[in-house]
A and B are shown apart, each in its own frame.
Chain A
Amino acid sequence: DAKTTQPDSMESTEGETVHLPCSHATISGNEYIYWYRQVPLQGPEYVTHGLQQNTTNSMAFLAIASDRKSSTLILPHVSLRDAAVYHCILRVGWQQGTGSKLSFGKGAKLTVSP
């Protein structure tokens, strides 16, 4: 079962800043928070990830709560191309030589209107 909780869907308008919430109340100390997004007929695309500190890159800003039980993906000035299903996931079981499994839930469908 997925260990994260997201809203099923969110709506926005072009140019807005969108806040996508994710709850992960049972996160372990060594689990990273990953965000991927997926558009129809494509595999998921990496957006960003973090452990404890907030992170930022060209795609998004990831705000992580101080207790790490929730996080928010912030998309500034969204465009129509940002419409996708956004997956908040935890990286589990990573140790050298054992691989790293990613568990995906349904994700949150972001709709962007002109």
Chain B
Amino acid sequence: GGIITQTPKFLIGQEGQKLTLKCQQNFNHDTMYWYRQDSGKGLRLIYYSITENDLQKGDLSEGYDASREKKSSFSLTVTSAQKNEMAVFLCASRGHANTEVFFGKGTRLTVV
């Protein structure tokens, strides 16, 4: 089996700061996703990528950048952290022929 590793698990940043979240998967999956989950709410898609160097905007891409440096890694950058941005950011991946999506454990962002 594989695993999705998100780093860091907890991230504290200052308002206006640029922050980067990282995600690694060893499933050899083609597609990777970044979701944001606010407390007590559902998941909202920020960016996804179907292959290395590909980027597709989700419903919540404004204020974020993403980078698929290689097949196994997908990073997300908060361009200017805001206090209403405190949430859990979840990375996920899916193989080309496999319809199941696997999720990481998340990065919990706090902005002070």
Partner-contacting stretch, out of A10-18, A60-68, A76-84, A103-111: A103-111
The bracket for how many chain B residues form the interface is 20 to 34
Question: Is there contact, CB below 8 Å, between B104 and A99?
Answer: no
B21 interface contact, C-beta 8 A = no
Complex Cα spacing A63 to B31, Å: 29
Number of chain A residues close to chain B: CB under 8 A: 23
Q: Which of B45, B50, B58, B103 contacts A43 (CB 8 A)?
A: B103
Complex Cα spacing A35 to B90, Å: 17
Q: Which of A32, A41, A43 contacts B92 (CB 8 A)?
A: A43
Question: Is there contact, CB below 8 Å, between A49 and B42?
Answer: no
Complex Cα spacing A97 to B45, Å: 18
Near A by CB (< 8 A), chain B positions 19-45 give 31, 33, 35, 40-45
B32 to chain A, nearest CB (A): 9
Pair count A-B, CB < 8 A: 57
Near B by CB (< 8 A), chain A positions 78-92 give 87, 91
Question: Is there contact, CB below 8 Å, between A100 and B103?
Answer: no
Residues of A within 8 A of B99 (CB): 32, 49, 91, 100
B39 to chain A, nearest CB (A): 11
12 contacts between A and B (CB under 8 A): A46-B100, A46-B101, A46-B102, A87-B42, A99-B94, A100-B31, A101-B45, A103-B45, A104-B42, A104-B43, A105-B42, A106-B42
